Structure 1
Amino acid sequence: MNAPRALALAAFAALLQACATSAPEETRYTGEIFSGGRRLPVTTVFWEDRNDRTVGRYVFVEPDGREVPGTLGPCEMRNEVVLRCEWTDTYGQGYFFARFSEDRQRFRGRWGRGDLHHTLSIEGIWHGQR
């Protein structure tokens, strides 16, 4: 093998390795969110960003089948099992509060108006399990 080709293959292998190690490990939960007087299916996903902060995203499905995506962040772990985040989607923004089981297999929470540090109102539940 010639030197330029060997160098190109080594660079490509290094790039693949960097991509493989930089992909965040996601934790996915399926559950329900109470919104608009109804329980709607929701998928909530969390991962650690490059600065080791928890962030996330979610998608809930409205009664007509329309999917509503949103983001979670910034987030704060209050202790080993309590997480508080700000949510943002097409309907606005507010807070998300969750208490996880010790094995992190499920969470029970709520959402509402406010921000990371202030609760202005409680709008409904938000639960999930792996």
Structure 2
Amino acid sequence: MIETISNINEVLSKAETIAIIGCSPSTHRTSNYAARFLQERGYRVIPVNPGPEEIYGEKCYDSLTHIQKDIQIDIVNIFRNSDYAADAVRDVAEWKKKTSQNPVIWTQLDVSSPEAEEIAEKNELPYVRNKCIMVEWDRYFK
């Protein structure tokens, strides 16, 4: 698991593409604001949410597992209720098996769950627990 400030800084510094599970097309939702925030800072943001066709010029996928395997994903940011965190981490584990990629799982504030953390650990997925990606970005790069 990633726990130290220096590791989080490194993750944010090296990342180019961030998939956001639960990215909303509604501008009043925090996940939508985070997508725009990250895009404006140079990241490619891939929205994952069944329903919308695109958000901020990027194709929106029904699930992480539907993203083409040739797209390198560095961080999977989970913006879902903690009741669904374990399912989202299972999708990341499936993505890892499908693509041989090992993205960092990033759970927003109050999103992580013990089950999600256990699944991440079992699948050797790096994990950031309950941290706002925008706050952490500002902490290191502002």
The structure where strand makes up a greater share of residues is 1
Q: Look at both structures and tell me which one has the larger radius of gyration over its CA atoms.
A: 1
Which has the higher relative contact order, 1 or 2, with Cα contacts under 8 A spaced 6 or more apart? 2
